[in-house]
Each structure stands twice: as C-alpha cells, then as structure tokens.
Amino acid sequence: MYRTHNCGELSAANIGEKVTLAGWVQHNRDLGQMVFIDLRDRYGITQLSFNEKSAAGLLEQSKTLGREYVIQATGQVIERASKNPKNPTGEIEIFVEELRVLNVSDTPPFTIEDESDGGDDLRMKYRYLDIRRNPIKENLLLRARINIAIRNYLAGEGFIDIETPYLIKSTPEGARDFVVPSRMNQGQFYALPQSPQTFKQLLMVAGMDKYYQIVKCFRDEDLRADRQPEFTQVDCEMSFVEQEDVIRTFEGLFLHLLKEIRGIEMDSIPRMQYDDAMRYYGSDKPDIRFDMRIHELNEVTKGHGFGVFDNAHLVAGIAVDGCSGYSRKQTDELTDWVKRPQIGAAGLVWIKCNEDGTYKSSVDKFYSSEDLKKIAEACEAKAGSLILILCGEDAKVRKALGALRLEMATRLGLRNPDVFAPLWVVDFPLFEWDEETQRYYAMHHPFTSPKAEDMHLLDTDPGAVHANAYDIVLNGNEIGGGSIRIHDPKTQMMMFDHLGFTPEAAHEQFGFLMDAFRYGAPPHGGLAFGLDRLVAILGGNEIIRDFIAFPKNNSGRDVMIDAPSALADEQLDELSIKIVQE
C-alpha cells in the first residue's frame, strides 16, 4: 500500500501521527522559504508543507512538483497556522519528511478545477482528466450510490437480479437496432437489446415472479443532444399484479431514493390521467413544480369579431404571474419565440392584467375591458399576470402552450433543480396514429394490455382505446414507464394484427413469446426507469452526459478512444461481410 490514509480523512484528532499519503498535486504554492502543496485524491485534499526546517533538499524538490504530478509523501500531521474551515482537513497539514514522485505529468490540456477552462470537445477527448474534476467525480459517486440503493431496495422487496442476454434477435418494430454479424452463423446477425422486454416477460412465464436488472440498452437513433446510443435501464417485472400494485411498488422505490439521496421525505406521488396531462399541460410529462395550467378560451373569446379566434379549433392560454410589466419588446420577443419552427405557432395574443385592475392586450380592438376580465377569470389570472394565448388545431396549440409554459417558468426561476415534483401519468392511449405511414403504432410497445373496459372499441375506434400503461415523471422528464402486459396468445395476436403484422411476421419475430404464452403465462406487468436521466435529475443537473463516465458525442463517437473505427480486412473476411462504397 502506498499510503496509510487518504487525502480526505485526517483531522485535528490525528495531530502528531506519522502518516503517508499519495495523490495528485492540485496546487503548488511556492512562497520562497515555504512551499504548500494541495494533495488531492478521490476523498479530498490535504495540505503538505515544506520549509527551511525540512530535510536536506526536500524544500527544493517540492518546488519542482508540477500540477497533476503523482506523489507519495510521508510526514507528521501538524496543526495548520491558517486553518481552512471550508475543507474537512483544513485544520491540519502534513509536514513532509519523505517525498517520492510516483509519476510525472505533462501540463493538462485544461484546468482540473470545479470550473474548468476546457471546452466540451477537449473535456471529452481527455475524459480521464475531466473525471478528476469534483463536479464530474461527484456525479459518478452519486450514480453509484443511487445504483446500490436501488438494488438493495428491490432485493429487500424480493426482486431477483437476473441477467438477460445482450446478443439477441433483431426486430424491425420500434427503433433501429444495433446489429452484430455472427462469424459462426455466416450471413446472420445478432441484435443488441433496445430493452430486455421480451426476456423479462419470459422470466415471468418462467415463474421468477419478481425480476429486476440494471442493464445497458442500445438504440441506433439519430442522436439528439441528450440521447446516447447506449443507455442504462432499471428494468423490472412482476407477476400476479395489477397496475395499482406496480405503481405502489415503484412509488416506494422512488420515494426511498428521494429520501436516501436527497433527504426529502414525501408520502406519495400524485397521479394524473394522460388526457388531463395533455389538456392542462400540453405534455405527457408535465412539470408540476409550478401550476400555470392551460385554459380553454373558445367560450369567452368567440363572437367578438376576432376571426382568428372565432375560426380556431382551439383558443387556449396560460396566465403567467408577475409578468404584466413585460415591455413591448419582451412580448414581441415572446411572439418570435412561439413562431420558431420548433414551436410553430402563427402568432401570440397577450393580455396584461395590470396591478391596478386594468387590462391591456394585443387584441384591444376586439375585446373590451369587461371581455378581457372574463378571459382573465377563465385563465385564473391574478393582478400582475400576463396571459398568453395561442389558437389553432387542438393538439398543436396544447403542445405549443406546453412548451411556452416551460419557457416562462424557466425565465421566472420556477424550475428549481433542488425541488422535486414526481408525478404518475396513467391511462395512456394504446395506439398512436402516425400521419406519415398512415397507420397505428403501439404507444408503449406491442405487449401492452388494453383496458378491459375499452376492448369493445378496438375494432371501431382504436385511437380511443386506453392501455394499462403508466409513466413516472419527474420535473417534466419521463424517468420511467411501464404497463400491465398481455398474457394470453389470443389478445397478443389481435394486438399484432392491429399493428399491421401478418400472422407470419408475428410468428417470425415473436413466435417464442407466443409459444411461451401457450404454457401458462401469469398475469404480469412492470416498469423500467431510465437510470441516466433519473441520476441526472436527482443530481440537480439535466445534462445526462455529465453523469456517464465515458459518454459518446452527438455523432455516436467516443472521441477519447476514437471509436467507431475501421476494421482490418481479415476481420471483415472472417465475418463474410463487405463494406459497400457509396
């Protein structure tokens, strides 16, 4: 062992002890007659001191130690002349008697400080240096704490950690698979799992009753800023349960984490129907840290000669408290904001509910003060509120208002990352209509069971069928989702049929699951958390990449190891594949 203690554990209680520490040189303060070195490791920083009383040559040697040198120092713990109450080891320092350089370091390409001067690209290329920085290190430590807290909670609830395979079978339904050519079965490919969905269902058929796994999943999608091609899921499944049982189990897990990790106690998590989430928040993952609901205004706006509103399918608005003082420039800027293609509104109508009880709006021409008051009442606006109104096709308006609602909350500081507002969104639709391909897709996945009471609509009005499907939402982010699954082959076949699978295609892709359902499948359901996002939000920072040790960039590259990369010809030959040149 190169040390007797780590750099975070010595205190006044150790004064007089002879210790050996090892770590990295964080700072070297050379005061001529004295040198102070901050020695850093994973556990903290301890000050080393050298002066004229040091052993021969030691003071001089200490001056040569550069940033990030790895050293081993032995000496006595002494009381510090100027204590640093902010550092847990700030009462003491080590007066060094022996010093050994374990490794030298080039000057790092960016500063290893809480606030680094390194840009994103540089930090990713030298990720091993980036991780030395406290914020990233703390993120990884937090992730490990959450990971084991989840495991112990679930194990305590009787869940069994079972590993499912990574080399599985490609299925065209859903997102694109990453595939792996098989050398032993030429011309054939494995796929990497997008989730262990079918395997966890097979484990329920197998009688394992309660399963969980913290597992990597893979999706070959065009990456957005916050998506990774490989991501981690806390994957769970239970037998002999109904929706209520699953929700209660994982509500327990989440509240346990909130307490363990953030010290926040909460009794229960509110629930909201999917239809209400869309109606009042324009989103299936509402951020309920603040209210600012969407209100329908067709009734109170129609018949005043304002054709834009009169002809709109939906007129709806939100009341933003404390913004009635917005200048013309500010409202214009908001108008531009909603007109951006990402939002896609045609325009924005605003009403200021002044503190003195008067109203001012961008549609004063059509609406009297009395009319505006009625609109304000419909929006539950207060004196000081700024009402923002959009109109048009129902779903579009709600979605745009949902985005505007988040934007206004961000501007007002209502999205405090240290406040946690979890929410269950329940009763999702079974299907989702896709305009482009003109067909229904499974909103969750093809194994989700329809609500018994909606089964009669399956043929006549599939879009109206609700599912036993639920999401858990945290601060406006989906952190998990699941469903009660279909467990009989007949319903499963009907579902495949509605999704446009021929019986042959269904058999080809999911025959093993249909087969399994013939041998006594129990009723079952489950849930999967997205661990990367869950950790990021609990860490108070929504940048997922900062909570992954070695993330990939937006083109799916690992710029540190420079992957993906070209293969040797022999490797391709062995796999019997060839690259098609464009």
Q: Which residues, 523 to 552, sit near a copy of itself by CB under 8 A?
A: 523, 548-550, 552
Stretch binding a copy of itself (CB under 8 A), from 37-45, 260-268, 277-285, 408-416: 37-45
CA-to-CA distance for 27 and 62, rounded, in angstroms?
Answer: 11
Q: What are the angstrom distances between the C-alpha of 141 and each of 22, 228, 529?
A: 20, 20, 19
Nearest residue to 440 via CA among 409, 407, 408, 462: 462
State the minimum distance, in angstroms, from the CB of residue 325 to a copy of itself: 47
Q: 447 and 440 in contact (C-beta within 8 Å)?
A: no
512 binds a copy of itself (CB under 8 A): yes
Stretch binding a copy of itself (CB under 8 A), from 183-191, 259-267, 403-411, 449-457: 183-191
43 binds a copy of itself (CB under 8 A): yes
Nearest residue to 24 via CA among 46, 39, 44: 39
Q: Contact with a copy of itself (CB under 8 A): which of 44, 135, 522, 540? A: 522
Q: Contact with a copy of itself (CB under 8 A): which of 11, 186, 358, 410? A: 186
253 binds a copy of itself (CB under 8 A): no
Q: 499 and 430 in contact (C-beta within 8 Å)?
A: no
Residues 46-85 contacting a copy of itself, CB under 8 A:
68-70, 72
CA-to-CA distance for 546 and 523, rounded, in angstroms?
Answer: 39
Stretch binding a copy of itself (CB under 8 A), from 27-35, 116-124, 138-146, 379-387: 138-146
Q: Contact with a copy of itself (CB under 8 A): which of 294, 345, 516, 537? A: 516
CA-to-CA distance for 562 and 540, rounded, in angstroms?
Answer: 30
Q: What are the angstrom distances between the C-alpha of 371 and each of 37, 312, 351, 380?
A: 71, 18, 11, 14
For 330, other C-beta atoms within 10 Å of its C-beta total 14
State the minimum distance, in angstroms, from the CB of residue 166 to a copy of itself: 5
- The distance from CA 56 to its chain's CA centroid, rounded to whole angstroms, is 55
Nearer to a copy of itself, 113 or 230 (CB): 230
Q: Contact with a copy of itself (CB under 8 A): which of 27, 83, 137, 259? A: 137
Residues 430-449 contacting a copy of itself, CB under 8 A:
none
Residues 292-321 contacting a copy of itself, CB under 8 A:
none
141 binds a copy of itself (CB under 8 A): yes
CA-to-CA distance for 190 and 177, rounded, in angstroms?
Answer: 10
Q: 3-state DSSP call for residue 570?
A: helix
Q: 201 and 513 in contact (C-beta within 8 Å)?
A: yes
Stretch binding a copy of itself (CB under 8 A), from 90-98, 133-141, 339-347, 424-432: 133-141
- The distance from CA 301 to its chain's CA centroid, rounded to whole angstroms, is 39
504 binds a copy of itself (CB under 8 A): no
Q: Which two tokens stand for residue 507?
A: 């058999």
339 binds a copy of itself (CB under 8 A): no
Stretch binding a copy of itself (CB under 8 A), from 206-214, 340-348, 435-443, 470-478: 206-214
557 binds a copy of itself (CB under 8 A): yes
359 binds a copy of itself (CB under 8 A): no
463: which residues sit within 8 A by CB, 6+ positions away? 429, 431, 433, 440
Residues 81-120 contacting a copy of itself, CB under 8 A:
102-106, 108
Nearest residue to 421 via CA among 287, 253, 534: 287
Nearer to a copy of itself, 149 or 308 (CB): 149
Stretch binding a copy of itself (CB under 8 A), from 275-283, 288-296, 356-364, 513-521: 513-521
Nearest residue to 326 via CA among 297, 296, 360, 294: 360
Residues 474-503 contacting a copy of itself, CB under 8 A:
487-488
CA-to-CA distance for 427 and 424, rounded, in angstroms?
Answer: 10
Residues 144-173 contacting a copy of itself, CB under 8 A:
144, 147-148, 151-152, 155, 160-170, 172
399 binds a copy of itself (CB under 8 A): no
Q: Which residue's structure tokens are 């009625």?
A: 374
Q: How many residues bind a copy of itself (CB under 8 A)?
A: 130
State the minimum distance, in angstroms, from the CB of residue 419 to a copy of itself: 28
Looking at the chain, how many residues does it have? 582
CA-to-CA distance for 155 and 159, rounded, in angstroms?
Answer: 5
